[in-house]
Structure 1
Amino acid sequence: MANTSLQAVMAACLSGYAEHHPLSPHQWQVCHHILDCRTAALGGFALECDQCGDCPFLYHACRDRHCPRCQRRASEEWVERQRAAVLPVTYHHLVFTLPDTLNGWVEVHPEVIYALLFETVWATLSAFAEDPKRLDGQLGMTAMLHTWGQTLVRHVHLHCLVPGGAFGADGTWHPAKSTYLFPVRALSRHFRGGLVSRLRRAFKDGRLSRLTAAEVDRVLNALMQPEWVVYSKPCLARTDTVIEYLGRYSHRIALSDRRLLNFDEDDDTVDLRYKDYRDGSRNKVMTLTGEELIRRFLLHVLPKGFMRVRHFGFLANRCRARCLALIRAALAAPPPTPEPAAEPAATVPFDGYPCPTCRTGRLHVTAHLAPLRRGQGVTTMTVRC
Structure 2
Amino acid sequence: MSEPATLQQALSRFLTPACLDRQRQRVCHHLLACRTEAMGGTVLQCTGCDHTQPHYFGCRDRHCPQCQGRAMHQWAERQQANILPVRYYHVVFTLPHRLNGWVQLHPEVIYRRLFQSAWQTLRAFGRNPKRLGGEMGMSAVLHTWGQTLSQHVHLHCLVPGGALGDDGGWRGARSPYLFPVRALSRHFRGHLVSALRQAAKAGELHRVTRPGDVDDQLNALMATEWVVYSKDCLEHTETVVRYLARYTRRIAISNARILAVDDHQVTLRVKDYRDRERPKPLVLAGEEFVRRFLLHILPKGLMRVRHYGFLANRCRRRRLAQIRHALAVAEATADADTAASDSAPTYTCPHCQQPTLRVIGTLSPRRSLPGRRDNHRTQRYRT
Of stretches 95-104 and 212-221 in structure 1, the one that deviates more from structure 2 is: 212-221
User: What's the CA shift string for 1:86-128, capped at 9, x where partnerless?
Assistant: 1100100010110000011011100000000000011111000
Mind listing any 5+ residue stretches in structure 2 that lack a counterpart?
Answer: none
Does the CA-based 8 Å contact 1:43-1:372 persist in structure 2? yes
Match of 2:361 in 1: 367
SS class of match (1:80) = helix
Of stretches 120-129 and 208-217 in structure 1, the one that deviates more from structure 2 is: 208-217
Q: CA deviation at 1:137?
A: 0.4
Structure 2 CA distance for partners of 1:255 and 1:238, relative to 1, 3 Å: closer
Structure 2 CA distance for partners of 1:180 and 1:51, relative to 1, 3 Å: closer
Q: How does 1:289-328 map to 2 (within 5 A)?
A: 289-328=285-324
Q: How does 1:185-334 map to 2 (within 5 A)?
A: 185-212=182-209, 214-237=212-235, 240-241=238-239, 243-265=241-263, 268-334=264-330
Match of 2:47 in 1: 50
Identity across the alignment (%):
55
- State the distance in 1 between where 2:240 and 2:208 align: 41
Q: CA deviation at 1:209?
A: 0.7
Q: CA deviation at 1:350?
A: 4.7
User: What's the CA shift string for 1:290-346, capped at 9, x where partnerless?
Assistant: 22111100000000010010000010011111111111111111224526854964x
- State the distance in 1 between where 2:123 and 2:206 align: 30
Does the CA-based 8 Å contact 2:141-2:244 persist in structure 1? no
Which residue identity does 1:255 align to in structure 2? I
Which residue identity does 1:146 align to in structure 2? H
Q: CA deviation at 1:84?
A: 3.0
Match of 1:379 in 2: 376
Match of 1:10 in 2: 11
Which residue identity does 1:364 align to in structure 2? R
User: What's the CA shift string for 1:190-230, capped at 9, x where partnerless?
Assistant: 11111111101001001111113500011111111110111
SS class of match (1:236) = coil
Q: CA deviation at 1:262?
A: 1.8
Does the CA-based 8 Å contact 1:86-1:243 persist in structure 2? no
Structure 2 CA distance for partners of 1:333 and 1:237, relative to 1, 3 Å: same
Q: 1:104 aligns with which of 101, 104, 107?
A: 101
Does the CA-based 8 Å contact 1:140-1:312 persist in structure 2? yes
Structure 2 CA distance for partners of 1:250 and 1:366, relative to 1, 3 Å: closer
Which residue identity does 2:360 align to in structure 1? T
- State the distance in 2 between where 1:300 and 1:344 align: 35
Q: CA deviation at 1:244?
A: 3.2
SS class of match (2:101) = helix
Does the CA-based 8 Å contact 1:40-1:372 persist in structure 2? yes
Q: Quick check: 1:168 aligned with 2:165?
A: yes
Structure 2 CA distance for partners of 1:61 and 1:248, relative to 1, 3 Å: closer
Does the CA-based 8 Å contact 1:51-1:361 persist in structure 2? no
Structure 2 CA distance for partners of 1:59 and 1:99, relative to 1, 3 Å: same
Structure 2 CA distance for partners of 1:361 and 1:63, relative to 1, 3 Å: closer
Q: CA deviation at 1:246?
A: 4.2
TM-score with structure 2 length normalisation? 0.92
Which residue identity does 2:80 align to in structure 1? R
- State the distance in 1 between where 2:290 and 2:95 align: 23
Which residue identity does 1:235 align to in structure 2? C
- State the distance in 2 between where 1:74 and 1:316 align: 20
- State the distance in 1 between where 2:250 and 2:297 align: 13
User: What's the CA shift string for 1:1-49, capped at 9, x where partnerless?
Assistant: 96311011112222xx346xx2011101110111010000000012223
Aligned residues: 376
Q: CA deviation at 1:238?
A: 6.0
Does the CA-based 8 Å contact 2:17-2:25 persist in structure 1? no
RMSD over aligned CA atoms reads: 2.3
